[in-house]
C-alpha cells in the first residue's frame, strides 16, 4: 500500500498508530480525572493502558502487513518496516512495564493512575521519534517522551532519592535538548531544510561545510546524552537508581531504543555520505563499552549495577550504528529486542526483592534465593546470562549479529573490543548467579516476601521463554530484522555485506 502524504486520508493512515494511541491516552486521561483514589481505579487504568497498547499494535501490524510505504519523498513521517518493528519494541516494552507495575504500585502505595497516562504519552513520543523523517518531528517526539519520563522518574514523592532523580534527569535532559536544537539550527542554516531526505540529497551533491559538521556534532552530543553514552552518561546511574523500578525498566529499554532508532534514521538518511560521524561514533562506542563495564564492576548495589550495565549495552548498540548499512540497522533491531526482554526481566525480579525503590538491594542480598524461590532465581539467571551474551540466549544472538555487522563493515578492532568487554561483564553478572545458587540465605526468612503477582509472573515467564526461544531459533527474527533494516537504507545505497543466512 502506497500513501501520498499530500492527501489528507493517506496522511491519517500513515499516522494511524499514533492517532490510535493518542485517542486511548485521552480516554485514560478522562478516566483518571474521574476515578483516581482506590487500588481498583489503578487496576482499571492499567487495563485500559494495555487495551490501548494492544489496539495500537494491531494498527502497526495492519500497516506492516499491507507493506505500507510513502510515495516519493517522506515529508514529515516515514512509513517503512524499520518504523513498524521499532514501534513493536516500544509497545512491548510499555506492555511488560504495565504488567510488572500493578503489584509494585500497590505494594509501594503509589496509588497514582496518572502513572499509566504518562506511560502512554512516553510511548507515543517514542513512536513519533521512530517515525520522524524531519528533524522537527524527531525533536517533538523526543520532548513528548522526555517530559513524560521526567515526571515518571519522580513519581514517588515520599522519597528524596526519587525527587533527586527527576530533577537530575530534567536538568541534564534540558541540557541535551539544547544541544539538539542548536544542532538542528546549524544544519538548517547549512542546508535550508530540516527534512532528512533533502539534507541527505544536498550533502551527497554539494558536500559538507563547517557549519553542517558542527551541527552534526551537536546532534550526536544531544543523542549521546539521551542514550547515556560515555562521557554523557553521568545522569543515568543516579536517575535509574532513584526512579521506581518499573520506570527504570522502561527508561532502560523503550527510551533508549527510541533514541537509537531516531539516531539511525538521522545518520543513514540525512548524513549517510558524511564519513566523519563513523569516526566519532567509533570512539564513542569504545569509551562507552570500556567505561560502562568498568564502572559496573565496582557496584555492589544490584540496581546501580544494572544501571551501569545499560551504559555498556549502549556501547554495544553504538557498534551497530557505527557499522551502518543494512547489517548495522538489522543488528540494532535484533539486539534491541533481546535487550528489552532481558533488561525488563531483570528489573522485574529486582522489584520483587526490594522495597522503597530497591536502591538498597545488594547483590549479596540474593544469596539463597534459588532454594526459596527457584522460579525467580531461574528467571534472573537467564536474564543475567543473556545480558552477558551466553550461548543459547537471545543476548548471545544479538551480540553475534552486531559482531557480524562490525566485521562486514571492516570494524575488526571495534568487534574485538566488544568481545573483550563482554568477557569483563562476566565479573558482575556471574556473581548474581553465584549468590542465588551457591550461597546460603543470610537469615531464614530472607526471601519470604519476595513475590510477584500473576500478571508480573506472566510477564517474566514470557520474557524467559522469548530469551531462550530466540537463543536457539532466531531465523524468523533475523528475517524480520533484515527486511526492516533494508527499508531504512537510501534507494541509491547498495550493501555489500552478507548477513547471516537463515532457513525456513
Report the C-alpha gap between 211 and 219 in whole angstroms.
12
Residues 6+ apart with CB under 8 A from 222: 176, 177, 178, 179, 180, 183
Residue 199 lies in a domain: no
Residue 40 lies in a domain: yes
DSSP labels, 92-115: HHHHHHHHHHHHHHHHTT---THH
Shared domain check, 343 and 255: no
Domain boundary among 250, 267, 284: 267
pLDDT of residue 501: 41
Residue 125 lies in a domain: yes
pLDDT of residue 494: 36
Q: Is the pLDDT of residue 458 over 60?
A: yes
**Of 138, 136, 139, 144, which Cα lies nearest the Cα of 117?**
144
Residue 242 lies in a domain: yes
Residue 232 lies in a domain: no
Residue 209 lies in a domain: no
pLDDT of residue 5: 75
With contact defined as beta carbons under 8 Å apart, do 36 and 115 qualify?
Answer: no
What's the mean pLDDT in 4-24?
87
What's the mean pLDDT in 132-143?
92
Q: Is the pLDDT of residue 503 over 70?
A: no
pLDDT of residue 356: 59
**Average predicted confidence (pLDDT) for the chain:** 88
Domain boundary among 267, 288, 320: 267
Shared domain check, 455 and 392: yes
Shared domain check, 311 and 246: no
In 11-84, where do the E strands start and end? 69-70
Higher pLDDT, 420 or 7: 420
pLDDT of residue 442: 76
Residues 6+ apart with CB under 8 A from 40: none
pLDDT of residue 491: 64
Residues 6+ apart with CB under 8 A from 47: none
Shared domain check, 373 and 295: yes
**How many domains are contained in the chain?**
2
Q: How many CA atoms lie within 13 A of 448 on its CB side?
A: 5
Shared domain check, 371 and 247: no
Q: Is the pLDDT of residue 279 over 90?
A: no
pLDDT of residue 363: 85
Q: Is the pLDDT of residue 121 over 90?
A: yes
pTM above 0.85, yes or no: yes
Report the C-alpha gap between 266 and 248 in whole angstroms.
26
Q: Is the pLDDT of residue 147 over 60?
A: yes
Shared domain check, 357 and 280: yes
Domain boundary among 267, 283, 306: 267
HEC per residue, 39-55: HHHHHHHHHHHHHHHHH
Residue 1 lies in a domain: yes
The pLDDT tens digits of the residues spanning 186-209 come to 999 998 889 898 998 888 887 778
Shared domain check, 351 and 312: yes
Cell of 152: 515518571
Please report, rounded to a whole number, the percentage of residues in the chain having pLDDT higher than 70.
95
Shared domain check, 33 and 149: yes
Residue 229 lies in a domain: no
pLDDT of residue 357: 53
Containing structural domain, residue 256: 1-163+237-267
Shared domain check, 349 and 262: no
Report the C-alpha gap between 115 and 113 in whole angstroms.
5
With contact defined as beta carbons under 8 Å apart, do 327 and 495 qualify?
Answer: yes
The pLDDT tens digits of the residues spanning 468-480 come to 999 999 888 899 9
With contact defined as beta carbons under 8 Å apart, do 183 and 172 qualify?
Answer: no
Crossing angle for the helix pair 374-388 and 325-353, to the nearest 10 degrees? 150
Shared domain check, 333 and 260: no
Higher pLDDT, 37 or 101: 101
231 cis-preceded (ω within 30 degrees of 0)? yes
Shared domain check, 366 and 245: no
Shared domain check, 296 and 253: no
Higher pLDDT, 34 or 170: 170
The pLDDT tens digits of the residues spanning 333-365 come to 999 999 999 999 999 999 888 665 566 788 888
Amino acid at each position: 500500500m502506497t500513501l501520498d502524504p499530500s492527501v489528507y486520508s493517506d496522511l491519517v493512515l500513515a499516522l494511524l498508530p499514533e492517532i490510535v494511541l493518542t485517542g486511548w491516552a485521552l480516554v485514560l486521561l478522562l478516566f483518571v480525572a474521574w476515578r483516581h483514589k482506590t487500588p481498583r481505579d489503578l487496576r482499571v487504568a492499567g487495563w485500559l493502558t494495555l487495551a490501548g497498547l494492544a489496539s495500537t499494535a494491531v494498527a502497526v501490524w495492519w500497516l506492516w502487513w499491507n507493506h505500507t510505504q510513502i510515495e516519493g519523498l517522506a515529508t514529515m513521517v516515514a512509513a517503512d518496516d524499520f518504523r513498524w518493528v521499532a514501534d513493536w519494541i516500544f509497545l512491548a516494552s510499555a506492555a511488560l512495564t504495565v504488567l510488572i507495575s500493578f503489584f509494585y504500585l500497590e505494594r509501594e502505595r503509589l496509588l497514582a493512575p496518572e502513572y499509566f497516562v504518562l506511560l502512554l504519552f512516553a510511548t507515543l513520543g517514542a513512536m513519533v521519534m521512530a517515525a520522524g523523517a524531519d528533524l522537527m518531528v524527531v525533536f517533538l517526539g523526543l520532548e513528548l517522551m522526555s517530559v513524560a519520563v521526567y515526571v515518571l522518574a519522580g513519581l514517588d514523592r515520599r522519597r528524596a532519592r526519587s525527587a533527586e532523580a527527576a530533577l537530575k534527569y530534567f536538568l541534564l535532559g534540558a541540557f541535551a535538548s539544547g544541544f539538539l536544537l542548536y544542532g538542528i539550527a546549524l544544519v538548517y542554516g547549512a542546508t535550508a531544510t530540516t527534512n532528512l531526505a533533502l539534507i541527505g540529497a544536498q550533502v551527497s551533491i554539494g558536500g559538507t561545510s563547517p557549519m553542517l559538521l558542527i551541527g552534526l556534532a551537536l546532534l550526536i552530543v544531544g543523542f549521546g546524552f539521551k542514550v547515556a553514552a560515555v562521557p554523557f552518561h553521568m545522569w543515568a546511574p543516579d536517575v535509574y537508581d532513584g526512579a521506581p523500578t518499573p520506570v527504570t525498566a522502561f527508561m532502560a529499554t523503550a527510551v533508549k531504543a527510541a533514541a537509537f532508532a531516531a539516531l539511525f534514521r538521522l545518520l543513514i538518511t540525512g548524513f549517510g555520505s558524511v564519513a566523519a560521524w563513523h569516526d566519532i561514533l567509533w570512539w564513542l562506542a569504545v569509551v562507552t563499552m570500556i567505561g560502562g563495564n568498568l564502572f559496573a564492576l565496582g557496584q555492589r548495589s544490584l540496581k546501580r549495577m544494572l544501571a551501569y550495565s545499560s551504559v555498556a549495552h549502549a556501547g554495544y548498540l553504538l557498534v551497530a550504528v557505527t557499522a551502518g548499512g543494512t547489517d548495522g540497522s538489522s543488528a540494532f533491531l535484533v539486539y534491541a529486542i533481546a535487550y528489552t526482554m532481558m533488561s525488563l526481566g531483570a528489573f522485574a525480579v529486582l522489584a520483587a526483592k526490594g522495597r522503597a525503590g530497591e536502591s538498597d538491594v545488594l547483590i549479596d542480598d540474593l544469596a539463597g534465593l534459588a532454594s526459596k524461590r527457584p522460579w525467580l532465581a531461574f528467571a534472573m539467571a537467564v536474564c543475567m546470562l543473556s545480558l552477558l551474551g551466553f550461548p543459547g540466549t537471545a543476548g548471545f544472538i544479538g551480540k553475534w549479529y552486531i559482531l557480524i555487522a562490525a566485521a562486514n563493515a571492516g570494524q575488526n578492532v571495534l568487534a574485538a573490543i566488544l568481545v573483550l568487554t563482554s568477557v569483563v561483564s562476566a565479573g558482575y553478572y556471574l556473581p548474581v548467579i553465584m549468590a542465588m545458587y551457591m550461597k546460603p540465605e543470610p537469615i531464614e526468612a530472607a526471601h519470604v516476601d519476595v513475590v510477584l503477582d500473576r500478571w508480573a509472573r506472566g510477564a517474566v515467564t514470557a520474557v524467559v521463554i522469548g530469551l531462550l526461544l530466540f537463543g536457539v531459533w532466531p531465523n524468523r527474527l533475523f528475517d524480520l530484522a533484515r527486511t526492516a533494516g533494508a527499508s531504512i537504507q537510501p534507494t541509491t545505497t547498495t550493501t555489500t555485506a552478507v548477513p547471516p543466512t537463515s532457513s525456513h
